[in-house]
A and B are shown apart, each in its own frame.
Chain A
Amino acid sequence: MKTTTFLLATSALTLAAGSASAIDLTFVSWGGAYQDSQLKAYAEPYMALHPDVKIVWDESSAEAVAKLRAMHEAGNLTWDLVDVTVSDSIRLCDEGLAKEIDFDADLAPAPDGTPATEDFGATLQNDCFIPQIVYSTTWGYRTDKVGDTPPSTICDVFDLAKYPGKRAMQKRPIDNVEWALYCDGVAKEDLYSVLGTDEGVARAFAKLDTIKDQVVWWTAGAETPQLLADGEVVMGSTFNGRLFSAIVEQKQPIAMLWDMQSYDLDGWIVPTGLAPEREAVVMDFLKFATDTQRLADQAKYISYGPARASSAPLVGKLEGTDIEMAPFMPTDPANATNVLHYDYTWWADHRDDLDAKFQAWLAQ
């Protein structure tokens, strides 16, 4: 009897509390398998702990900067937490559209007590960006269309004699000009000093010219897996998680080329101007969603490396299968023998200029 009354009382209390503080949050992400992994690893467990919080997703990360600017101008902020790449976070942070974070106070320490700043280490890039994952832009090729000697270095991409056929490349200069110069004989450490000169840029485009008529340009990460599955291209660059899903989950005849994979980071920013009670919930979610275990959990659903050092040993198998995730991680030692660390600050300064030159070159 007593228990029943107690149960009734508590459930009545929870109901009352729920209706009093129920809150709808809008999170912005990239859609697809990546957003699914965030849903399963962060959002669903958090909502299970806090039944009064409801999370709606908006797949608008690709235009996050433009939309946040417009929302601020109109005074109509509808987003509560936004997933962006580092380069976007730099712009948002500079413009005051993203909240500055006190990493050690706002984020959970590692289980052994290491403070967050140390645990995240080099992935912390600016005052607003809370890193989640390390991903890479890398290459996949059709195993049935490359003969007995599959491509082993990035320069095989530029070798039309050895690997005839179309290639899919991202419609932007980043990564492509670095790869072109590297295969034109520039040492990795000199890439950005060479790119800083007009002759260097011309040299990169000259190298890209050698394969230009064989390139299919993509803008969405899903395009390369589709083109590879169709057999329309022999090889193509895309985000490593997309290739993982095509190879392991969709069982397509595709293999990965990790040479000169280009590392990038993805993480959260909190928009400025949230109502205090919303911001409190968002910060609470962030503390939960970026702790060591949650970041490792995300790697159960998608092959992106967790941004915390302490999460790496906890990375297990693909959820519901026997497939070890480690060999598909861009950070796995076997895959990371030759990595392109693309330079955010250099690109922040040169992006507009090179984008214009790249577009002009494309139109030629």
Chain B
Amino acid sequence: MAAITVDMPRPSLTGFTLPLNALAGALLGYVVGTANHSPLTGVLAGAVFAALLAFVVVSFRQRRLGRLAGALITGAVGALIAGISGALAGAILGLVLSWFAYWLSSGDYRASVPIYATPREVLWHNSFRLICGLIFFFLIAPVVVVIPLSFNAENFFTFTPKMLALDPEGYSLKHYQDFFTNPDWTRPLKNSFTIAPLATILSVSLGTLAAIGLSQSHVPGRRAIMAILISPMIVPLIISATGMFFFYAKLGNWMEAHLGLSKDFLGYVKVVLAHAVLGIPFVIITVTATLVGFDRSLTRAAANMGAGPVRTFFKVQMPLILPGVISGALFAFITSFDEVVVVLFVGSASQKTLPWQMFTGLREQISPTILAVATVLVAFSIALLTTVELLRRRSERLRGMSPS
């Protein structure tokens, strides 16, 4: 059967492509104009410029050539206004505008909707995609802005004129150097990497055991027990922190008096315990969720073949619920690693963690070292999540499950 093809007429240039491109240009012009304290001029100039650009660009038969021309023209205009950085920004804007012009004029904007869609449906489909894009932008932009600022050569949270002109002198690695050499930062770094893994191990062991226990139907009052164990996640952190402050102070004093442990060591014990309490709910929830899909007859089969409960747990149950345990561990780790309220109450200055130091640093001196730390932490989190996801996929592949 021959494929049915329908010839959609190309949209009209003057009635459709040019006005819409002018609208996009007006929006971009508004942003540029506001940055230069004349939004109205920006809107007008942007609209006129974008319409002209679309007219020129669309007349090129070859798309690639046309987009290159668009980037070059806008880049040249940008260079006239603001030098090198203007040229770069202009080239990017030119690419966007010329892509938009082609996308409209070639009819590509209808490509992903059925041909019978009404104009209103096409409009909604594309607006929806735009809204999704904007949501991504608002989520990502604050994180992305931090990264170039962390290479600032000055000690302020400001894009200096030198940075905007892409002058190498405006950039430096000194904030990274500060992070890795200044004891104000290396101590908290060490503390964070001591406390978080210990708290994670504790919450994973206890949380997994609790989840397995609570999944047995014969445990009396399991809903109530579950609610109590989950409560640190629901109770406002500041309330937990206040309670923990008084509780652990008494506990610490008792241990110091009766076990003869040093104050410094006890400080770490207190923070690790407090963070483990915060991490346990995450482990319980993720492990409970995986246990739902766990086939109980497997443990009975193992028992039937003579394996004790411990052996059954490690050889049969654990490998199957491992993905849940790992994601619970990840949450517990991040909870401890990110936590600033409880550690401020329970810890003393020797247990200062990275978030604590970032918090005080932001309040007391607004040093861009915080941005360098933030960049490193973002990279670290991405690496951590990627590794875990890759491991998970690998284990699923090895066990012949389809990746989910």
Contacts and interface: CB of A to CB of B under 8 A. Distances in A.
Interface string A234-261: 0000000000000000101000000000
A62 B344 CA distance: 14
Given A75-B250, A76-B253, A226-B156, A31 B360 contact: yes
Interface stretch (A7-15, A52-60, A181-189, A202-210): A52-60
B271 to A, nearest CB: 12
A59 B344 CA distance: 11
A209 B301 CA distance: 80
Given A74-B245, A230-B158, A24 B350 contact: yes
Contacts of B360: 31, 59-60
B365 A33 contact: yes
Contacts of A57: 349
Nearest to A249: B155
For this complex, into which size category does the number of interface residues on chain B fall?
Answer: 20 to 34
Interface in B238-281: 245-246, 249-250, 252-253, 263-264, 267
Contact of B349 (A26, A73, A74, A223): A26
Contacts of B361: 31
Contacts of A74: 245-246, 249-250
A33 B366 CA distance: 11
B223 interface: no
B352 A58 contact: yes
B363 interface: yes
Nearest to B154: A250
A220 B365 CA distance: 8
Contact of B364 (A26, A76, A221, A230): A221
A229 interface: yes
Contacts of A60: 360
A70 B243 CA distance: 12
Contacts of B246: 73-74
A31 B154 contact: no
A26 B363 CA distance: 20
B150 to A, nearest CB: 15
Nearest to A250: B155
Contacts of A73: 246
Nearest to A251: B154
B157 A226 contact: yes
B348 interface: yes
A38 B154 CA distance: 24
Contacts of B155: 250
Nearest to B242: A70
Given A26-B350, A250-B154, A223 B364 contact: no
A245 B352 CA distance: 26
A78 interface: yes
A63 B323 CA distance: 43
B365 A76 contact: no
A70 B352 CA distance: 19
27 contacts: A24-B263, A24-B264, A31-B360, A31-B361, A56-B350, A57-B349, A58-B352, A73-B246, A74-B246, A74-B249, A74-B250, A75-B249, A76-B249, A79-B348, A220-B363, A220-B364, A222-B363, A222-B364, A222-B365, A222-B366, A223-B366, A225-B366, A226-B366, A230-B156, A230-B157, A250-B155, A250-B156
Given A79-B348, A230-B157, 5 more contacts: A31-B365, A76-B252, A223-B366, A229-B154, A252-B156
Interface of A: 24, 26, 28, 30-33, 56-60, 62, 70, 73-76, 78-79, 220-223, 225-226, 229-230, 250, 252
Listed from nearest, the 3 A-B pairs whose CB atoms lie closest are A31-B364, A76-B249, A58-B349
